[in-house]
Amino acid sequence: MKFSEHWLRTLVDPPIDSEELAQRLTMAGLEVEERTPAAPVFTGVVVGRVLAVARHPKGSHLTVCEVDVGGGAPLAIVCGAPNAAQGIVVPCALLGAVLPGGRELKKTAIAGVASEGMLCSAKELGIADDASGLLLLDADLEPGTDLRQALDLDDPLLTLKLTPNRADCLSIVGIAREVAAITASPLRPPPLAPVAVKTKTSRNVRVEDALACPRFCGRVIEGIDPKAPSPEWMRRRLERSGIRAISAVVDVTNYVMLEQGQPLHAYDDALLEGAIVVRFPRRGEKLTLLNGQTLDLDPDLLLVADEAKPLGLAGIMGGEHSGIADTTRNVFLEGAFWNPAVIQGKARRLGFVTDAGFRFERGVDFANAPAAVERATQLIVELCGGAAGPLVDVCGELPQRDPVRVRGAWIARVLGIAIPAETVADIFKRLQLQPKRQGADFLCTPPTFRFDLAIEEDFIEEVARLHGYDNIPSAPPVQPQTMLPEPEAMRPSTELRQRLVDRDYQEAITFSFVDSGWERALGIDANPIRVLNPIASNLDVMRTTLLGGLLDTLRTNANRKQERVRIFEVGRCFLREPGGYAQPLRVGGLAYGPALPEQWDGGKRPIDFFDVKGDLEALAAPLAVRTEAATHPALHPGRSARVLVDGAPAGWVGELHPRLLGAFELPHAPVVFELDLAPLRRRPQPVARPVSKLPVVRRDLAVVVDEGISAQAVLDALVAVKPPSVDHIALFDVYRGRGIEAGKKSLAILVLIQDTARTLTDAEIDATVAVLLREIENRFGGMLRR
């Protein structure tokens, strides 16, 4: 809701400045989103009257104007505007004037003729975007008057960011009521006197659904002048509220909507046939709206019609064929109360939003419709002449405004402070709640313009608002503070996050709801959990994997020419399971581009499977990480593996499947991983063991086995049978080539032997090695390489 502060102060004028007014409104729950002047800062611009216009001697499109700026001799000003003419009143910037943007006006010669000032357009002054010609002012303005004063350009414009429950503040009267209540200032509502009925002409009204339209008011006004101009003060208030001035009758309906909060509609009475009928559409009916849009009417769109045709969408927009035109002599004025449930969502469904629909779907004052029609009649008769007919008021069952008991003790309990009963009574009185004291309690009746007051807590909120949230002390909660246990055997997820950060990864946070297209492409779960009310059409399912969001983040970075990306995410995935849903916590990540940042001493090596496997080993340490070759629908068939942590399956690692590069618009494949977080969080208890003072004996075994035997299987077998003196067994080389027959490979295995009590003899060492070789020969058919 945008409005002029000076307009507001004609109804309520508290003794505070504009800044404090905005602060008080915001703290009372009516957030002032913006406060700007009606025009940007400029100085030295006055009202000027053009006394004479002569053609410029050299410029074919220029004129030399003689301008009266009040007192002294007229100024000679060169002007190029096409509408420069004798007798017009326009803004005139004097020499030394500072225009918007800081440009200072100096005396200059244009095509050889000295110009003693500048005649201005609206755009040059920042008042409007019109640069087609000079800004024409009211002919009654006195030359020499400062333009900012003449047009009230220092008027602050306030924009309120209202919550949906405060539809009563979608009018200047509603805001004035709030300001009067907040500041305890007197309210001066607009003068409203019933217009004398001078004609018996009226039009019958028939409401076919009284639940959809509980109240409909109408009046015929005959003999208006459709070309009568709107007064400057009305056009100014409309434009500063963001509404374009059109014609006197239309401007009056818009003005009353802004002033009273009651949308009105004016019809050309000559185009109406028979009675006004409020009804729902009949099969096959169409309607062309004022915006030119032709609708095939859905059965739930309430209409205002006559006995022959639809006239408009009730509470949303009128029809094109019955609107006010330059030939209109008789007007039928409509003011109604529509059930908000009938209006809600209809305009958005049709693809547009109107000021009327915005108000009606939130609820307007059902008691104010006759007064709003009366106010509009008063203004139309003043501006356009005419004779008003009798007011037709068809009234059904209106909403009930039942009294609500507000307990004094409950106010203190909810707010946490005791507010004196006299203060509470004064607040209720200022809010026009008609409070009645019953002991320590109050019986309050919500006014017809406050649809948001229904239960006791609503009234307590009003007490808090007007008492002032800043006046409610902030008391610390009285409760025991205890430290949460941190099990030694369980490490926090923050520690795992930090390990990945230390490995040059950056954490990403993505939506838990994702594009179903991603899920189908990744092929992990063909039936993901659907979102019933997605925030966007492409975020329609719950994720079953973290990879979709990470790959989308990678795509964004790759599109912005990021060559090296390493990201991870810790979050929940959402899976179906018998009897319900599972929400495992997982860690996923990807590495893309060069293995190392750009540096001086080497070329770029692309990231590979083993780089990321090393990152996982660092993440899980001291837990043992193993990988087993296996296929995964989202990973390259020959470059993927199942990850085991301490022997238990924990997730997957591998290069992204080539078919997904196109789906995610990636130039080349990243290496990705996704692991369950639970096994990674286990922390083995530390166990002390003595450090041997004796030397370590190293033996390197080169054994030849079949190509199909995995090195990990050999290592596992050796670890299972190793004598106690064997401290460490590891693979350090795999060889295929000359000297090794086809279908075979050579494994180089490091064996470290050490005893903590004595030095081992050669015979003991040889016997230990023999145990290991015998296991390889018996179990795998391997032999020592010669």
> DSSP assignment of 704-728, as one string?
EEETTS-HHHHHHHHHHH--TTEEE
Residue 692 binned pLDDT confidence (cut-offs 50, 70, 90): confident
pLDDT value at residue 478: 76
Question: Which neighbouring-strand residues pair with 335?
Answer: 217, 264
Dist. CA 234–CA 228, nearest whole Å: 13
Q: 428 and 459 in contact (C-beta within 8 Å)?
A: yes
SS3 144: coil
Q: 397 and 404 in contact (C-beta within 8 Å)?
A: no
- In the predicted structure, residue 602 carries a pLDDT above the cut 90: no
**Average per-residue pLDDT in the chain?**
91
How many CB atoms within 10 Å of residue 635? Answer: 24
Residue 535 binned pLDDT confidence (cut-offs 50, 70, 90): confident
Burial class (CB in 10 A: 0-12, 13-18, 19+), 690: exposed
For residue range 703-741, what is the model confidence (pLDDT) as tens digits? 999 998 988 889 989 999 999 889 999 999 999 988 888
Dist. CA 308–CA 323, nearest whole Å: 16
pLDDT value at residue 169: 93
Residue 561, Cα to own-chain centre: how many angstroms?
28
Q: 694 and 756 in contact (C-beta within 8 Å)?
A: yes
Dist. CA 35–CA 26, nearest whole Å: 12
Residue 475 binned pLDDT confidence (cut-offs 50, 70, 90): confident
pLDDT value at residue 620: 94
- In the predicted structure, residue 649 carries a pLDDT above the cut 90: yes
- In the predicted structure, residue 599 carries a pLDDT above the cut 90: no
Closest CA to 554 of 674, 669, 677, 676: 669
* Region of 752 on the Ramachandran plot (φ > 0 left; ψ -120 to 50 alpha; else beta): beta
SS3 536: coil
The 3-class SS string of 616-633 reads HHHHHCCCCEEEEECCCC
pLDDT value at residue 211: 93
Query: 205: which 2 tokens?
Result: 């009204």
Query: 756: which 2 tokens?
Result: 């903590």
pLDDT value at residue 384: 93
> Distances in Å between the alpha carbon of 443 and those of 426, 437, 438, 633?
13, 7, 7, 68
- In the predicted structure, residue 502 carries a pLDDT above the cut 90: yes
Residue 695 binned pLDDT confidence (cut-offs 50, 70, 90): confident
Dist. CA 623–CA 626, nearest whole Å: 10
pLDDT value at residue 567: 97
> Distances in Å between the alpha carbon of 458 and those of 55, 462, 463, 608?
70, 7, 9, 62
For residue range 227-260, what is the model confidence (pLDDT) as tens digits? 999 998 999 999 999 898 899 999 999 999 999 9
pLDDT value at residue 592: 96
Residue 71, Cα to own-chain centre: how many angstroms?
55
Contacts of 23 (CB under 8 A, 6+ apart): 32
For residue range 652-672, what is the model confidence (pLDDT) as tens digits? 999 999 999 998 999 999 999
For residue range 142-161, what is the model confidence (pLDDT) as tens digits? 999 999 999 989 999 999 99
Q: Average pLDDT for residues 573-578, to the nearest whole number?
A: 92
- In the predicted structure, residue 616 carries a pLDDT above the cut 80: yes
Dist. CA 309–CA 273, nearest whole Å: 8
How many CB atoms within 10 Å of residue 667? Answer: 9
For residue range 358-378, what is the model confidence (pLDDT) as tens digits? 999 999 999 999 999 999 999
DSSP string, 290-356: TTS-EEE--TT--EEE-SSSEEEETTTEEBGGGS--TT---EEEEEEE--HHHHTTHHHHHT---HH
- In the predicted structure, residue 684 carries a pLDDT above the cut 80: yes
> Distances in Å between the alpha carbon of 697 and those of 427, 689, 728?
91, 19, 11
* Residue count (the chain): 786
Contacts of 523 (CB under 8 A, 6+ apart): 633, 634
Query: 239: which 2 tokens?
Result: 């434009």
Q: What share of the chain is helix, strand, coil (3-state, %, to 5)?
A: 25, 30, 45
pLDDT value at residue 275: 93
Residue 131 binned pLDDT confidence (cut-offs 50, 70, 90): confident
Q: 266 and 249 in contact (C-beta within 8 Å)?
A: yes
Dist. CA 363–CA 419, nearest whole Å: 32
- In the predicted structure, residue 138 carries a pLDDT above the cut 90: no
- In the predicted structure, residue 73 carries a pLDDT above the cut 90: no
For residue range 15-70, what is the model confidence (pLDDT) as tens digits? 999 999 999 999 999 999 999 988 899 999 999 999 998 888 876 788 899 999 98
Dist. CA 386–CA 594, nearest whole Å: 82
Q: How many CA atoms lie within 13 A of 426 on its CB side?
A: 12
For residue range 745-769, what is the model confidence (pLDDT) as tens digits? 999 999 999 888 888 888 989 999 9
Q: 76 and 64 in contact (C-beta within 8 Å)?
A: yes
